[in-house]
Amino acid sequence: MRKSKIITILVFVIMGAVFAALFFGPKFGKTAVVNTLAEKFFSDVQFKDFRQAALYHHKLERDRVDIGRTIEKLFLMKPEMIDIREFRILKSEIDGNRARVHMNTKFQRLNVKKEPEEGEIVLYFLKRNPDCPIGGVCKGGYCFDEFDNKIARPEKSKKNKSKNVNKEGDTVEPELTKKNYSCTVGAADEWFMNLDSTLKEKRYNH
């Protein structure tokens, strides 16, 4: 085989590898799962399916997830006035049981801007037990914390199922019950959106 043919083949192989990395990278590799979750989340937000968008969070935290309200805080407008045109993954990375996906979005604030705008957001994920609170591990059918103590369930407030609030409006830790979190033995850890890191307020109107 001539040297020129070998060089041509190598060029096509390199180009193919680059093409695959750019267009198929998010679907393969160790970040594939969080990439897929990030794309599904944005797709649900794009179509204002906030109930479905909340399902990417851990079941113990979904009752305090309000995606619509969060979108309103992020863009300073009602969700129905935000038209998300496009979104794509810029990069993603995993560090142990933590992951983050950098997303680029093209959106238009209806009746405010005539032209679409672009912004970036980072979605954070944690790989954790599907039954236990953050940091909990399942042993013998119960959730244990970092100090090898069983994790007790909190007392739910009658006024607000997800948190207790004092007179000043600050969130306080609820009282613990005598009931412990139970879990399915052998259940594999799963990736969930990290609510408290992802849904922080940013300004997109600068």
The CA distances from residue 4 to 7, 12, 15, 16, 17, in Å, are 5, 13, 17, 18, 20
Rounded Cα distance, 97 and 34, in Å: 11
Which pLDDT score, from 0 to 100, does residue 152 have? 96
> Is-above-0.85 flag for pTM?
no
Which pLDDT score, from 0 to 100, does residue 73 have? 79
Rounded Cα distance, 45 and 79, in Å: 9
Task: Give Cα 139 to chain centroid, integer Å.
Answer: 26
Which pLDDT score, from 0 to 100, does residue 206 have? 44
Q: What are the pLDDT digits (tens) for 165-202? A: 555 555 567 788 889 999 999 999 999 998 666 655 44
- Using alpha carbons only, give the angle 27, 29, 31 rounded to the nearest 5 degrees: 80
Q: What are the pLDDT digits (tens) for 17-52? A: 444 444 444 555 789 999 999 999 999 999 999 999
Confidence of residue 95 (pLDDT cuts 50, 70, 90): very high
Which pLDDT score, from 0 to 100, does residue 193 have? 94
